[in-house]
């Protein structure tokens, strides 16, 4: 089949872009190197839209949360990935978490049902010289293609490290020590609707003495050594390894992933704990698959060596006999200096037949990556139809993220960014407590007016 658009990369962004184009009858070639003899250091399968890090799309609250608002806007744009997430959803309080295998299978099944879409398992080593193309190879772009991108941009790509959290088998967790609860019982209603019981996290409590012993072990544990070419690559703050956070100070973890507030330990309502039932620190685990057999250690991305992970993480109360379905890991992510290199339609200024989408543009997070793929697909569809492209409102989550990537950010200090209300145009005369709700109300109203521009 002769294609009209060539999409390179079958991850979150590439899959979403392919859906937006092919469901409009546009002929698409989707090239994915996994399954064709190649893979990456982080992927474990050849499935399209594989989730390689967390299984969470973060908060689904679209009334006062920026990423939840982005979920809602994507749904209104007929997002494939949001639809697949609903099919694969598992209880996680107010968050949108999925069974990663069910999610990937749902995405691939939907794409294969489109008659104008051809999925080809092949590695692409050079940027296309002509014809419309969308490069959505993500932060793990293969070296040859990365070199071709570097030659086309005339500048070195920026880079950072991304770390993966371990996954634990549920039946190896000691529930006589750990307990089920959501912080402040938040999201209980949403959890119940999904078949949960409102207590969607496993919580492992620590006393002060246990916490500081654990903190010291993190400092002393043997870490993965960097290669020479990796030595000066910075971490992204949103995926900071647990031991790197710990190195910032002895209390840092208690105000981050090991925050104890809102978690009342029922096991400690005894005379042995005269100071109350509140732990000094808590390690939380979140359900990772629909069966409930796998649980992700929330915020425990790590570059500790495998043997050290097992040894140190088994000192956590409740995880003394933990069995790990996957240990943590570390991989290098690369991204473009998009404010300098891309125009407002995600096109490479030096080769405007090529668009970029997803994490390689400098957005961060599953949902953000998919949303930029969605926009790239819509832009290409408008171009092929000969229509003028109307960008999403700057006041919407889609518009705010796109504006950050393509020009609002400072090029000299450009770094990967999750969607957040700091990217939105400020609202005047709105009290701080009402600001988030005001942002979302304005965004929904403005997006409603924009949606009819899509075809």
- What does residue 356 show for φ and ψ, rounded to 5 degrees? -115, 150
Least Cα distance to 286 among 89, 46, 105 occurs for 89
Please, are residues 401 and 419 in contact by the beta-carbon 8 Å criterion? Answer: yes
13 is in an annotated binding site: yes
CA distance 298 to 13: 24
Residues 6+ apart with CB under 8 A from 204: 173, 177, 178, 282, 283, 284, 285, 316, 317, 318, 319
Least Cα distance to 59 among 436, 448, 447 occurs for 436
What is the token pair recorded at 243? 């031991």
Least Cα distance to 419 among 439, 401, 399 occurs for 401
Rounded to 10 deg, the angle between the 12-22 and 100-112 helix axes is 30
Please, are residues 415 and 362 in contact by the beta-carbon 8 Å criterion? Answer: yes
CA distance 90 to 185: 17
Least Cα distance to 77 among 376, 361, 358 occurs for 376
12 is in an annotated binding site: yes
14 is in an annotated binding site: yes
Least Cα distance to 278 among 211, 205, 204 occurs for 205
Please report which residue ranges of 326-429 form alpha helices under DSSP H.
338-341, 366-385, 397-403
- What does residue 171 show for φ and ψ, rounded to 5 degrees? -75, 0
Please report which residue ranges of 326-434 form alpha helices under DSSP H.
338-341, 366-385, 397-403
- Burial 255-285, CB ≥16 within 10 A → b, else e: eebbebeebbbebbeeeeeeeeeebbbbbbb
329 is in an annotated binding site: no
User: Residues within the annotated binding site?
Assistant: 9-14
User: Residues within the annotated binding site for FAD?
Assistant: 9-14
């Amino acid at each position: 089949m002769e294609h009209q658009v060539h999409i390179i990369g079958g991850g979150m962004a590439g899959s979403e872009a392919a859906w937006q184009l092919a469901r409009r009858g546009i002929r698409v070639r989707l090239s994915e190197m996994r399954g064709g003899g190649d893979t990456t250091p982080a992927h474990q399968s050849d499935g399209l839209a594989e989730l390689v890090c967390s299984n969470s799309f973060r908060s689904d609250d679209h009334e006062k949360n920026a990423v939840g608002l982005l979920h809602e806007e994507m749904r209104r744009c007929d997002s494939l990935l949001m639809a697949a997430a609903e099919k694969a959803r598992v209880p996680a309080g107010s968050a949108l978490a999925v069974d990663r295998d069910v999610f990937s299978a749902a995405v691939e099944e939907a794409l294969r049902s489109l008659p104008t879409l051809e999925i080809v398992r092949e590695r692409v080593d050079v940027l296309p010289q002509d014809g419309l193309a969308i490069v959505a190879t993500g932060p793990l772009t293969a070296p040859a293609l990365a070199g071709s991108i570097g030659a086309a941009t005339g500048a070195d790509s920026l880079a950072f490290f991304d770390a993966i959290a371990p996954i634990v088998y549920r039946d190896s967790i000691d529930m006589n020590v750990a307990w089920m609860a959501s912080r402040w019982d938040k999201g209980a209603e949403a959890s119940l609707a999904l078949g949960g019981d409102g207590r969607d996290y496993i919580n492992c409590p620590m006393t002060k003495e246990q916490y500081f012993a654990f903190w010291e072990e993190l400092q002393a544990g043997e870490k993965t050594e960097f290669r020479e070419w990796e030595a000066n690559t910075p971490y992204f703050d949103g995926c900071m390894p647990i031991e790197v956070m710990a190195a910032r100070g002895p209390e840092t973890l208690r105000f981050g992933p090991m925050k104890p507030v809102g978690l009342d330990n029922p096991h400690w309502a005894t005379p042995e704990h005269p100071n109350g039932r509140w732990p000094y620190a808590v390690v939380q685990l979140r359900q990772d698959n629909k069966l409930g057999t796998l649980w992700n250690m929330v915020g425990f991305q790590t570059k500790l060596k495998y043997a050290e992970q097992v040894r140190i993480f088994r000192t956590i109360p409740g995880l003394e006999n933990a069995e790990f379905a996957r240990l943590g890991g570390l991989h290098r992510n690369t991204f473009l200096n998009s404010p300098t290199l891309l125009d407002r339609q995600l096109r490479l200024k030096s080769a405007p037949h090529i668009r970029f989408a997803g994490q390689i543009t400098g957005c961060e997070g599953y949902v953000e990556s998919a949303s930029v793929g969605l926009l790239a697909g819509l832009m290409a569809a408008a171009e092929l139809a000969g229509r003028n492209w109307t960008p999403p409102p700057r006041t919407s989550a889609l518009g705010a993220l796109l504006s950050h990537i393509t020009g609002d950010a400072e090029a000299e200090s450009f770094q990967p960014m999750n969607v957040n209300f700091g990217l939105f145009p400020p609202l005047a005369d709105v009290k701080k407590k009402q600001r988030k709700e005001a942002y979302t109300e304005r965004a929904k109203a403005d997006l409603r007016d924009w949606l009819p521009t899509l075809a």
